[in-house]
Amino acid sequence: MEKGILEEVKKLVVDTNCPVESRVIAEKICNGARITSEEGLWLYEHGELGWLGMLAELIRHQLHGNHVYFIRNFHIEPTNICINKCRFCSFSHHFSQTHWELTVDEILEKVCEQPEDMQEIHITGAVHPDRDLYYYGDILKQIREIRPGLHMKAYSAVEMDHMIRQAGLTIEDGLKYLKECGLGSIPGGGAEIFDETIRSDIAGMKSSSEMWLEIHEKAHRLGISSNATMLYGHLETYTHRIDHMDRLRHLQDKTKGFNAFIPLKFKNWNNEMAQLPELPVVEDMRNYAVARIYLDNIPHLKAYWPAIGKKNAQLTLSFGVDDMDGTINDSTKIYSLAGAEEQSPRFTVSEMQEFIHQVKRIPVERDSRYNPL
């Protein structure tokens, strides 16, 4: 966006013919001020989609110019055997047609198969009943030995809660141990929706919202950055989404440890909530735009394309998104088991660059700390 166009957009979003609420919100955003939770809710309930997109794009442009980030990455999912039984889950052995428990050797073999220029490994899976902190720490140590330059983003807060308790350590000591083993950062999974009533309905056996937030806060204080997710499009309301983002915004004010926020869409295939319809794409775009506007202190908004499909992910680039996650290399089953259209999620670097060029933006290959490469 050129500077002149930016000024024009500012005038458009503060249109005097708009409802007074939208004018007040637009003026705040143009002046870099924070909106309230009531205003966030108003955006969800009354904001016109094109206008929301313009507001989100203004913020995205001020933060990142025309850059869209991506990384060369791959996933390892050590197991889908799970002690929990979340009703929205299509991944765990409870609902999936398949189950697996990779050995450490099998994990290392998968790491060795990856090209040398991989930047990041993302390790998450189910909450296995018997595997503890030392088992998972050993995986990190052995990967570090064979690929010392690889950034290890590993284990959701829900996995950590269990493995650290199994080892009888405090959260802080467990995190310190994983850091010594080579943990680089923490993925955002397991946040689901923080509202306690909805959470107990859809994921009653899972770690509490309070524990999720505590683990991320303690990690940030130890210098371990992380991401945050929100599972949307199931039983929650707009109020629950604002509450979720508000708890994240509050924590981020204290620690500044979140790199990216990642909305994750509920998929209704092969799980206990399969009777619920999936949200239409316009609701996805509304959600991305409101997230970009509301979470003014989390630098990056990520479209996790294996979940929403490549075409919809490309559309999010007009609704505040600046990060396309990574090349993935057909290494995750979490969303393909839930019926996502990307059954073998993979981008080559040149395909990713072309994909971003198609919307007239500049692809920037990054490392795990968002340094351009």
Residue ranges binding ligand SF4 (CB under 6 A): 82, 84-86, 89, 91-92, 126-127, 158, 203, 206
Query: Which residue lies nearer to ligand SF4 by CB, 26 or 127?
Result: 127
Least Å distance between CB 106 and ligand SF4? 19
Residue 141 and residue 108 in contact, taking contact as beta carbons nearer than 8 Å: no
Least Å distance between CB 192 and ligand SF4? 8
State the Cα–Cα distance between residues 240 and 235, nearest whole angstrom.
Answer: 9
Among the residues of 182-280, which ranges form H helices? 196-203, 209-221, 238-255
Least Å distance between CB 271 and ligand SF4? 9
Query: Which residue lies nearer to ligand SF4 by CB, 92 or 119?
Result: 92
Residue 289 and residue 53 in contact, taking contact as beta carbons nearer than 8 Å: yes
Least Å distance between CB 339 and ligand SF4? 15
State the Cα–Cα distance between residues 255 and 218, nearest whole angstrom.
Answer: 9
State the Cα–Cα distance between residues 217 and 105, nearest whole angstrom.
Answer: 33
Query: Which residue lies nearer to ligand SF4 by CB, 231 or 364?
Result: 231
From start to end of the chain, where are the E strands?
A: 67-71, 73-76, 120-123, 151-154, 185-186, 225-232, 258-265, 300-301, 323-326, 362-365
Cβ atoms within 10 Å of 169's Cβ, excluding its own: 16
Alpha carbon 244 to chain centroid, angstroms: 13
Query: Which residue lies nearer to ligand SF4 by CB, 70 or 88?
Result: 88
Cβ atoms within 10 Å of 368's Cβ, excluding its own: 20
Least Å distance between CB 83 and ligand SF4? 7
Handedness of CA 302, 306, 310, 312 (dihedral sign): negative
Least Å distance between CB 69 and ligand SF4? 27
State the Cα–Cα distance between residues 19 and 91, nearest whole angstrom.
Answer: 44
Residue 120 and residue 135 in contact, taking contact as beta carbons nearer than 8 Å: no
Query: Which residue lies nearer to ligand SF4 by CB, 26 or 338?
Result: 338
Query: Which residue lies nearer to ligand SF4 by CB, 70 or 91?
Result: 91
Least Å distance between CB 107 and ligand SF4? 17
Query: Which residue lies nearer to ligand SF4 by CB, 127 or 289?
Result: 127
